[in-house]
A and B are shown apart, each in its own frame.
Chain A
Amino acid sequence: MKVFVPLDSAAVALGADRIAEAIVAQGAARGVTVQVVRNGSRGMVWLEPLVEVEVDGVRHGFGPMTLADVPGLFSDLASHPKAIGPVEAHPWMKGQTRLTFARVGVIDPLSLDDYRAHGGLVGLDRARGMTRAEIVAEVTESGLRGRGGAGFPTGIKWKTVSEAAGDQKYIVCNADEGDSATFADRMLMEGDPFCLIEGMAIAGLACGATKGYVYIRSEYPVAIRVMEAAVRIAREAGVLGAAFDMEIRVGAGAYVCGEETSLLNSLEGKRGVVRAKPPLPALQGFLGRPTVVNNVISLASVPVILAKGAAFYKDFGLGRSRGTIPLQIAGNVKYGGLYEVAFGLTLGEIVNGIGGGTASGRPVKAVQVGGPLGAWFPPALFDTPFGYEEFGAKDGLIGHAGLTVADDTVDMLQMARFAMEFCAIESCGKCTPCRIGSTRGVETIDRLARGDASALPILTDLCNTMKFGSLCALGGFTPYPVLSALTHFPDDFARQREAAE
């Protein structure tokens, strides 16, 4: 009997380890030989722990599993109370276009044979037969843009590093996924670590870099463990070696280290303080040498682009947002999880269609798109198509494609205050608009909360100063959640005034 129980953090946080132990114990007690594979998550978090049992080559799902549901896996499966049928046929799975996440949840994350059997290493093999310029051109042609949030064309960044002079160049993977509502990097690293390794090895070939680092946040213990094991396995198998090798590094709880220059300082063993640009990291990055800094999903999208060609990838998407995007639907939502799809769905289709509305059953009031530095969108803007430019046109951003759904009990003044408070806690302190502005922002919103309407122009002025005067996106984008809350939910700010009067 072959059983899949995810090792993914979300599944584990909901009891997957205990379920796996119980399945083994139950099998032993019944004299049934059970092979338990600890796979990644399929992304249907509301069904976790989602156990799959393979019957005649078809994987049948059961979830959310409790210990009491385990014995039922050893009798008539069709009548199991948690049966969801064949997982691949589930509407959530069928509606997706899984290019980057094709193997996540499917394979044993630490089996290189599994990885190969599911199309792994084809991209790297092809890249090995190409020149640097050809690899860069392929990635540029695919239209892939940085999935970390900035949306900078990946191929252009690679070209700069590839053509830079330097004896030693680096590929640095930014796995400091600190934004609330984002977990795609974590899921990819836990569920398909070799995909990231392959993407980095291809980047190494394209740029003439022989050394890579993955900087993973310390809040991701499972991802760290899986990636470290995968690097060892890849090295033993010769996938990594003299031509390109890599190390896993662990962050230390500083949100700002998700900003690329701050990350580089941290990697060098310094305070995670932001660097002014120029010089660009592409020219003077890690230890002052030419460095590619790419997000996990950007790098993990490269193998499929090389394997199937730029045109294949580019065919998906809309406008200048090409390919697919792993949406992370989170917060107060009925069906939360990861859903990879071509750009272009509307926000409403995502929140209500895929997400099924709120978990609480109350009306959706607002959705924050792009993490703590992203704007809050009201239902009136639910017709906005999911794309970089489309969200920018509505004074928002897609960031790392995380969505936090909130019901009508949310107080938008408090959310705006939290954005400023978070910025004050996490500011690296280098630039004044961020360091001082965030604290003044909390105070100014507190004045509004007390009914002092004269604070309103001060808040908008402060936001403008932060937006245009900050060195990086932490101070520069904190105004997005604040101003969007103010613009779209004026009642939450006005009601406080009336209460005071």
Chain B
Amino acid sequence: MLDSQDHSDRIAEILEAHQGLEGPLLPILHAVQEAFGYIPEAAVPQIAKALMLSKAEVHGVVSFYHDFRSKPAGRHVLKLCRAEACQTMGADAVADRIKRALGIGWHETTSDGRVTLEPVFCLGLCACGPAAMVDGRLVGRVDESVCAEVAK
């Protein structure tokens, strides 16, 4: 785990790397989340100061978008598509079975910190649904056997 000085140094590097961009906040937040796995609360005032925004404005952006996390996710992130095309191929039933197998609901993490389950609305795999994303990897025609991939 990084201490707060390391955090702040890393964030300063990220801010430096994004200088000169028009509308830099989303690229910065993506980079911060890539570096830490979430947006640390301490990052908000630091980013706000660098971009001459209020803390409320930065917090508002972080909280608006589904992608940005305020706390770390589990070791694995399993995203299941809930959109219409996947629903017609039984996505709801697959999701129910996966929830039961993992013992968690949407937006929850297993108590051992192993896997976080999230809904996603469309991965563009609508002709080979139900679709999923496991740690960034795309899976078509998914079923509960995907749980084996997040077992460790």
Which chain B residues (49-69) contact chain A, with CB distance < 8 Å?
A: 51, 57, 60-61, 64-68
| B102 sits at the interface (CB 8 A) | no
| A88 sits at the interface (CB 8 A) | no
Set A14, A218, A222, A287: member contacting B128, Cβ < 8 A: A14
CB-CB under 8 A for A180 and B121, given A48-B128, A221-B136, A336-B128: yes
What residues of B have a CB within 8 angstroms of the CB of A67 in the complex? none
**Contacting pair B128 A13 (CB below 8 A):** yes
Task: Report the minimum CB–CB distance from B39 to chain A (whole Å).
Answer: 11
The segment from A91-99, A275-283, A402-410 that touches chain B is A402-410
Set B65, B84, B140: member contacting A180, Cβ < 8 A: B84
C-alpha gap A287/B136 in the complex (Å): 32
| B139 sits at the interface (CB 8 A) | yes
In the complex, residue of chain A having the shortest beta-carbon distance to the beta carbon of B120: A219
C-alpha gap A335/B26 in the complex (Å): 38
**Contacting pair A287 B65 (CB below 8 A):** no
In the complex, residue of chain A having the shortest beta-carbon distance to the beta carbon of B123: A219
What residues of B have a CB within 8 angstroms of the CB of A9 in the complex? 123-125, 138
Set B61, B86, B131: member contacting A270, Cβ < 8 A: B61
**Contacting pair B126 A183 (CB below 8 A):** yes
| A340 sits at the interface (CB 8 A) | no
What number of B residues sit within 8 Å (CB to CB) of A? Answer: 42
CB-CB under 8 A for A252 and B126, given A12-B138, A13-B139, A271-B60: no
C-alpha gap A286/B22 in the complex (Å): 10
Task: Report the minimum CB–CB distance from A245 to chain B (whole Å).
Answer: 12
C-alpha gap A182/B24 in the complex (Å): 29
Which chain B residues (99-148) contact chain A, with CB distance < 8 Å?
A: 120-129, 131, 133, 136, 138-141
What residues of B have a CB within 8 angstroms of the CB of A255 in the complex? 121
What residues of A have a CB within 8 angstroms of the CB of B138 in the complex? 9, 12-13, 221-222
Q: Of A183, A254, A286, A368, which is in contact with the most chain B CB atoms at under 10 Å from its CB?
A: A183
What residues of B have a CB within 8 angstroms of the CB of A219 in the complex? 120, 122-124, 133
| A220 sits at the interface (CB 8 A) | yes
The segment from A310-318, A323-331, A382-390, A464-472 that touches chain B is A323-331
Task: Report the minimum CB–CB distance from B116 to chain A (whole Å).
Answer: 14
CB-CB under 8 A for A404 and B64, given A13-B140, A255-B121: no
CB-CB under 8 A for A252 and B86, given A13-B138, A330-B126: no
| A269 sits at the interface (CB 8 A) | yes
In the complex, residue of chain A having the shortest beta-carbon distance to the beta carbon of B122: A180
C-alpha gap A13/B83 in the complex (Å): 17
| B44 sits at the interface (CB 8 A) | no
Q: Is the interface of B mostly helix, strand, loop or mixed?
A: loop
**Contacting pair A14 B126 (CB below 8 A):** no
| A177 sits at the interface (CB 8 A) | yes
**Contacting pair B23 A331 (CB below 8 A):** no
Task: Report the minimum CB–CB distance from B41 to chain A (whole Å).
Answer: 18
What residues of A have a CB within 8 angstroms of the CB of B86 in the complex? 180
| A253 sits at the interface (CB 8 A) | yes
| A333 sits at the interface (CB 8 A) | yes
| B73 sits at the interface (CB 8 A) | no
What residues of B have a CB within 8 angstroms of the CB of A218 in the complex? 30, 67
**Contacting pair A177 B85 (CB below 8 A):** no
Task: Report the minimum CB–CB distance from B132 to chain A (whole Å).
Answer: 8
What residues of A have a CB within 8 angstroms of the CB of B89 in the complex? 331-332, 359
What residues of A have a CB within 8 angstroms of the CB of B120 in the complex? 219, 253
What residues of A have a CB within 8 angstroms of the CB of B129 in the complex? 330-331
| B19 sits at the interface (CB 8 A) | no
**Contacting pair B65 A183 (CB below 8 A):** no
| A272 sits at the interface (CB 8 A) | yes
C-alpha gap A331/B122 in the complex (Å): 12
Which chain A residues (351-372) contact chain B, with CB distance < 8 Å?
A: 359, 368, 372
Q: List 23 A-B contacts (CB under 8 A).
A: A9-B123, A9-B125, A9-B138, A10-B127, A45-B127, A46-B127, A46-B128, A48-B128, A180-B86, A181-B126, A249-B23, A251-B26, A252-B26, A253-B65, A254-B66, A268-B23, A269-B61, A271-B64, A273-B64, A287-B22, A331-B129, A406-B88, A418-B87
Where the two chains meet, the residues of A that have a C-beta atom closer than 8 Å to any C-beta of B are: 9-10, 12-14, 45-46, 48, 177-183, 186, 218-222, 247, 249-255, 266-273, 286-287, 328-333, 336-337, 359, 368, 372, 402, 404-407, 410, 415, 418, 422, 425-426
Where the two chains meet, the residues of B that have a C-beta atom closer than 8 Å to any C-beta of A are: 21-27, 29-30, 51, 57, 60-61, 64-68, 83-89, 120-129, 131, 133, 136, 138-141
Q: Considering the complex of A and B, which 8 residue pairs feature the smallest CB-CB distances, nearest first?
A: A269-B25, A336-B127, A180-B83, A252-B65, A253-B66, A330-B126, A13-B140, A45-B127
